[in-house]
Structure 1
Amino acid sequence: MTSLSHNEDKDQMNWIEGKRLWGEVVCPAAIHVEIKREFTKDGNLRESFQFTNNTSFPVFLEKTDLGIYTTFNDNYQEASECLEKRCHTHIFCGEEASYVMALRMSGRGPHLGMKFLKGSVLSYSVERNLEQRSNDRGDFILHPHIAKLEPEAGIEIQRELFWFETKEEFYEELLRTQGFPVVFPDQCTYFKGESMRFKIAIRDTGKKEAVRLQYNGMNIPYRAEVKDGIRWISAYLLADREGEYRIDIQAEGKKTFLCLYCCAVLDKMAERRCRFLALKQQMHDVSSHLDGAYLIYDREEDSIYYSHQDDHNGGRERLAMGSIMAFWQRLHPDGELKKSLEKYERYVYRELYDREKGTVYNDICHNLEWNRLYNYPWMAQFQLELYKLKGEGEYLMDAYKVMEQYYMQGGISFYGIGIPVTELYKELEGAGMGSEAGRILSFAERHADNVLQNGVHYPESEVAYEQSIVAPAVSILLQGYEITRNTAYLDEAKRQLKVLSLFNGRQPDYHLFENAIRHWDGFWFGKYRRYGDTFPHYWSVLTGVEYIRYEILTGDSRYRKRAAASIRGCLNLFFPDGFASSAMVFPEKINGEAGHYYDPWANDQDWALYYALKYRSFLEDISFDLEK
């Protein structure tokens, strides 16, 4: 197929546009493929792929030997083009209960869904147009699981496409399918000691078909009840060890799974990480401009790494390491970590910041080959943490100067990440610096006015359209409302929060559950420099932070569990030994190269842990009672 649109769609979006054709098949020459398509009585489009071994010998197949191009139209141009003519593609390779939820980027229905009726899918790969760099998510290749085919034997893979208006309608369509189990986790990431709770829904047939839930070969007890024709299976498991919990599910003859994750409690995780930073990631060489810097750590080489190349240098996003060290020192003073932080502070003030001008440099030696506005809010956040730690007013003035420079250099129209404007405003007011507070208020108001005027016509940045453009827009509006109480900002933030939420899926896998679609960070920040979906990437937490900010300002707690899931969902990037990975590159293969790995570089991911600590009460104070 070359095109698929809804006949009542005013924009006539082509949902299956890709570089390759929808339904093209990858398979060994020994396998014959026959493809059939037909419309069902419900108006769904059913596709059947019959794989047959036409040889006299058995054919054994490895994981990616078979593939079906499934080219949902998920790439990035300017927002005005993306919002109505592109989709966010949420894939769950859930064995015999696999599905895809494709959401138009504006949130306007109808949306396009896919469910698998026959056969099993274990993983997906992507083929990207590398000329588009970060702006093409790629053509998806779904991999049917067929281990071997005997001579003349065949296996059918059958799937169905359907339109839906809401996420609720999507799941209702899945549950109309006989024997299709749908897994609904409460969260997918838990702290040690919590109860990991989940439900499985399946259409009730009146038969008492056995349901089997297993973890590590052990059966998990459950309770079942039927409500409105749906059989609900409820179960829980204690999170008593760190790591992955894969729960194998068999219901109505179909197999699927749930992947959960247990991490250490936040204090333990933060202490491990800070000690690792001090021990493994700090440069000690008084003859070097990098003396005192927290740098990339290469786990494979067991060494720190630096390059003047932007995303590998001694500044920019890596200011997260200083911010989390300062935050942690405020909570739990420690002599050795204090020395490490003080040495890092001397490095930052020597190499990356001009105290007189408020200039933030891109790299050591006051390098300003790229005067990157993103760097300014991160520097201000670090300085605010130093101010809260030490109580010395010069750090607050530094943060003020940095944000003043940010706004004076074009920040009014720039959607910076992690802008701490209300935090700075409140600290300035509390310190009796009314003039500076008033100036920051004025900047924040002008910034929010600009976002209000733009609406959803988001400006392009280093990526044409992405989650960390929409999240800052919501943040600027909500912070503007917090300072000014202009309800126009709040109303617009509420509208754009819905656009932001579309980046997040709810697949029952801790890599995917409420983690925003991002697909370029492994290339720019990872050792292997490989594009491809990053599930998770740490900036996914920005969505959760704005959910929390919205709740604080409005009292609306509907986003509470989603906020916790968004921020918790990035904590699998932090390992028990204190190492942390810059990104988890999720697809099985990317342009033929191996994927599905945690990158061996600890680079810039510490912002995820920083925000987890900052908003810990929202992560820890949530109900796990599924009846609510």
Structure 2
Amino acid sequence: MTDHAITLPVGPGTVLLDPNDGAPLQFVDPDAADRRFLLDETTDAFHSSEHRWGSGFVITNVGSTRWSQPAERRLDGPGVQLTYPLLDTLTLTVTRTGGERLLERYELTNTGAAPLVVTSLGINTPFRDLYESAATSLAQAVHAHVWTGGADAWVWAQPMSGTGRSLGLIVRSGALWSYSVESRNQNSSSNVRGHLLLQATDLARNSTAFGGQPPIEIASGESWLLEWEVGFFASREAFLAASTPQLTVDRLYAEVGQQITVLGNTAGLRVDGEASVEREGERVAVTGTQHGAVHLSTDSAQTAVLFHSPLPDLVRRRVRFILDQHRPTERPLPYRYAFVPYDTATGLTQTTNGWADWSDGAERVAMPALLQEARRRGWVDSPGEVDEALVGFADFARNLLLDESAAPRWGSTVKAPVRIYNSPWLAHFFATQHDHGGADDDLDLAARILERSFELGAGEHLSIGHPEALVLVTERLLEAGQADRATGLRDLLVQQAAHFAKITVNLPSHEVNYEQSMVAPLVTLYAVAEQLEGQDRFLGPLDQAVRWLRAFGGPQPHIRLNEIGIRHWDGYWFGRDRQWGDIFPHHWSVLTAVALRQLPTTMRTAESDSAAREIFHANLINIFADGSATCAFTVPSAVDGRPGYRADPLANDQDWPLTLWLRQLESGDV
């Protein structure tokens, strides 16, 4: 396809354009020849010419259409000019010019006699954000961190390895107010992020996305211009230095009653949410009056921040809601002591319906685990009721979530294979129950669950929470005088770390081929093994894994996006509405925060500690003021045409952030 491509310079690299339609097919970094910044029609099955870079769609008051093949193509010095007659009275002209950066101009011209209003406009930018094997992803793919902050908009396509040049797109004229995703459905499933479309507006499909979508009004004979440049950048710092934000905030989260300062071009600042506003010149102080997100926007830029309830208060309300709404009290004993999903739209608990991710096991263990942590800190209003619920769940889990060998079932009624992911969650629960009640059989069961997990293959699996559960259980075994048993488990963990250090990039696929919730447990595994062994054997692999982990999160100045690892399938697997697409923040994003907190002191920095705090606080946005919650907030304005930027009504697996935060809460965190 690229044998006769038009080649334009882009700084130290090049961009290859199709000779027929002038679309960029690939950006090439000479120092990373195998890296693919864009999807490739010859290798990526779901990608085709209809989603090439620069194709798109428009919805107007006089009609709607897509564009792909230009009616005219003209070589123009170090670039091309393309003309697309879109509607009877609307023409699109696209120019691409090479140089230090690729300059792209998208110009809409109203050729009619009447004003024209554009209510949606999306441009394809098919960044190669997909997950094959871990080794292939790390060598060839990129994480596309999208920021549609109006005139402040940009995209940073960072290599998944966290090393080498990134590709950055920065808006220089015009604005991008949202983005959408296409090709996200059961066919593409969980290993493909889809086609990313950058949008100058999506008013027609989702008027409230990202706080609001303005129309584009073009007078008769006039034009509207969107201009951006695309180039290679050596680092995150170099990329951010090249952007020129018009609207900034001093922080993205604060407690209710505290202030967040807005700076920059704040003229006409609009505040959408429960907050009060005070202005001193260009400086605006916004004070939250209720728990929840607040959108801030001007005619040129936008962002969103979070004002949150004090953590103890929010935990109390969530615990109360779990006790009142997440227990299937209609069931017989001991099934009624389970914790199940809850539909906030209907007020009903959610039955499993043969769908394992709606079961009463697996990720739902977060709810009793949160009760344990809240009870330990005294952040509950009815300790006796919490204790009774925990004793009941322990009986339920012992008999119905574990088989006779201590292998974990997916749920009490799910006819599915053993799920090794569940082992550390149940082991941690029973070890914590032992701490609260002192029962020897709880500690013995916790140890047996971990021992059985190694028999089932945990030594070659990156189970979430596995190193932390093993540390807790072995500490309790030592206290109980069972040194041999504790040493045996610790030796298995060190052997596990050595195994992964040996295979390096060749991580085995789990339920997804490669994801942040594999790499974060890998970082934790190396950190814990290094602490146990103390011979510096795992510092090199740990440093590499941290780079992989940090690459999942981007620097977007938005409470839902900043440092949040990319994840784009939980709305389908865990939500009620079965919607694919970016979920930010997803509950496992806190694994990055947990891993950063467990780094050796020589590797922890003020920046990594700050990133951890950002992630923990961002996840408070999925818990609501009354203690209800959502398992998935779909961020794109639309996914395969269905409106997004909305919370799924199901509360399901979102309690892990609170649970994990409380387990390692440090002074000064809140």
TM, length-normalised to structure 2: 0.83
Match of residue 368, structure 2, among 319, 322, 330: 322
Mark the runs of 5 or more structure 1 residues left unpaired by the alignment.
201-209, 224-233, 622-628
Is contact 1:258–1:509 with CA below 8 Å preserved after alignment?
Answer: yes
Question: Of 390, 410, 433, which residue of structure 2 is paired with 1:362?
Answer: 410
- Residues 89-104 of structure 1: matches in 2 within 5 Å? 89-104=144-159
Q: Deviations over 1:580-622 (max 9, x none)?
A: 110111001111111111110000111111012223326626x
Which digits, 9 at most, give the CA deviation of each residue in 1:281-309, with x for residues without a partner?
10113537632211110011110012132
Secondary structure of 1:3 counterpart: strand
1:151 matched to 2:220? The reply is yes
Are 2:628 and 1:564 equivalent residues in the alignment? no
User: Alpha carbons of 1:212 and 1:121: their partners in 2 closer, same or farther (altered >3 Å)?
Assistant: same
Are 1:57 and 2:114 counterparts? yes
Judge conservation of contact 2:247–2:266 (CA < 8 Å) in 1: no
2:124 is the alignment partner of 1:69: yes
1:24-423 pair list within 5 angstroms: 24-27=55-58, 28-29=64-65, 30=87, 31-40=90-99, 43-62=100-119, 65-128=120-183, 130=185, 131-145=187-201, 146-175=215-244, 180-181=245-246, 183=248, 185=249, 187-196=251-260, 212=267, 214=269, 216=271, 218=277, 220-221=279-280, 237-248=286-297, 255-287=300-332, 290-307=335-352, 308-332=354-378, 334-354=383-403, 357-364=405-412, 369-419=416-466, 420-423=469-472
How many angstroms apart in 2 are the aligned matches of 1:618 and 1:465? 34
CA contact (8 A) 2:460 2:499 kept: yes
CA distance in 2, matches of 1:238, 1:129: 38
What letter corresponds to residue 37 of structure 1 in structure 2?
R
Distance 1:451 1:198, change over 3 A: farther
Using the TM superposition, give the Cα deviation of residue 222 of structure 1 relative to its aligned residue in structure 2, in angstroms. Answer: 7.0
Contact 1:189 1:568 in 2 (8 A): yes
Counterparts of 2:669 and 2:34 in 1: how far apart (Å)? 45
Q: Which residue number in structure 1 is paired with residue 39 of structure 2?
A: 17
Contact between 1:467 and 1:500, CA under 8 Å: does it hold in 2?
A: yes
Q: Deviations over 1:521-548 (max 9, x none)?
A: 1110000111100011000000000110
Of the candidates 386, 405, 425, which is equivalent to residue 474 of structure 2? 425
* C-alpha RMSD of the superposition: 2.3
Q: What is the CA-CA distance between 1:238 and the residue it aligns to?
A: 4.2
> Which blocks of at least 5 consecutive residues in structure 2 are unaligned?
1-22, 41-46, 59-63, 66-86, 202-214
Distance 1:50 1:554, change over 3 A: closer
Task: Report percent identity of matched pairs.
Answer: 25
- The aligned counterpart of 2:11 is none
Q: Which one-letter code corresponds to 1:21 in the other structure?
A: R
**1:413 and 1:7, CA in 2 relative to 1: closer, same or farther beyond 3 A?**
closer
Question: Post-superposition shift, 1:242?
Answer: 1.9
Secondary structure, counterpart of 1:441 in structure 2 = helix
The 3-state SS of whatever aligns with 1:620 is: coil
Instruction: Report the CA distance between 1:213 and its aligned residue.
Output: 7.8
| Matched residue type, 1:14 | R
8 Å CA contact 2:524, 2:599 repeated in 1: no
Letter in 1 for 2:325: K
- CA distance in structure 2 between the aligned counterparts of 1:556 and 1:597, rounded to whole angstroms: 35
Please identify, of 435-444 and 238-247, the stretch whose mean Cα deviation from structure 2 is larger: 238-247
Partner letter of residue 221 of structure 1?
A: E
- One-letter amino acid of the counterpart of residue 200, structure 2: P
SS at match of 1:616: coil
Amino acid at match of 1:138: G
**Structure-1 separation of matches of 2:601 and 2:342:** 37
Residues of 2 paired with 1:549 and 1:100: CA distance?
30
Residues 634, 646 of structure 2: 8 Å contact kept: yes
- How big is the shift at 1:76? 1.0
Give the counterpart letter for 2:246 in structure 1: P
- Matched-pair contact (CA < 8 Å) for 2:295–2:303: yes
Call closer, same or farther: CA 1:236–1:451 in 2, change over 3 Å: farther
Aligned equivalents of 1:455 and 1:5: distance in 2?
Answer: 27
Contact 1:11–1:84 under 8 Å retained in 2: no
User: What CA distance in whole angstroms lies between the structure 2 residues aligned with 1:373 and 1:525?
Assistant: 18
d(CA) in 2 for partners of 1:95 and 1:533?
Answer: 19
Cα distance 1:162–1:392, how it changes in 2: closer, same or farther (>3 A)? same
Report what 2:207 is aligned to: none
| Maintained 8 Å contact 1:5/1:12 | no
